[in-house]
Amino acid sequence: MAALVATQILSISTALIGSGGIAALSLFDVPELQSQPASRSLPSIRWLFSRGSHIFPLAAFLSSAGFAFLAYAARPATSMSITQILSHGRVPGYIAAAILTISIGPFTSLMIPTNFKLIKANEERGGARSAKSAGQTNTQAGHRSADDSVAGKGEAAEFKDLSVPQTKTTENTTPAEDEEVRELLGKFGRLNAVRAVFMAAGGMVGLATALA
**What DSSP string describes 51-109?**
HHHHHHHHHHHHHHHHHHHHHHHTS-SS---HHHHHTSTTHHHHHHHHHHHHTHHHHHH
| pTM for this entry | 0.88
Structural domain range at position 13 = 2-211
Tens digits of pLDDT across the chain (212 residues): 888 999 999 999 999 999 999 999 999 999 999 999 999 999 999 999 999 988 999 999 999 999 999 998 888 767 665 665 666 678 899 999 999 999 999 999 999 999 999 999 999 999 988 888 887 765 555 566 666 676 666 666 677 777 889 999 999 999 999 999 999 999 999 999 999 999 999 999 999 999 98
Predicted local distance difference test score (pLDDT) of residue 49 = 94
Q: At 17, phi and psi to the nearest 5?
A: -65, -40
Task: Quickly count: other Cβ atoms within 10 Å of residue 189's Cβ.
Answer: 19
What crossing angle do the helices spanning 91-102 and 175-211 adopt, rounded to 10°?
170
DSSP 134: H
Task: Quickly count: other Cβ atoms within 10 Å of residue 138's Cβ.
Answer: 11
Q: Taking a C-beta distance cutoff of 8 angstroms, is the pair 133, 43 a contact?
A: no
Q: Taking a C-beta distance cutoff of 8 angstroms, is the pair 122, 181 a contact?
A: no
Q: At 158, phi and psi to the nearest 5?
A: -65, -40
d(CA 139, CA 102): 37
Q: What is the tally of structural domains in the chain? A: 1
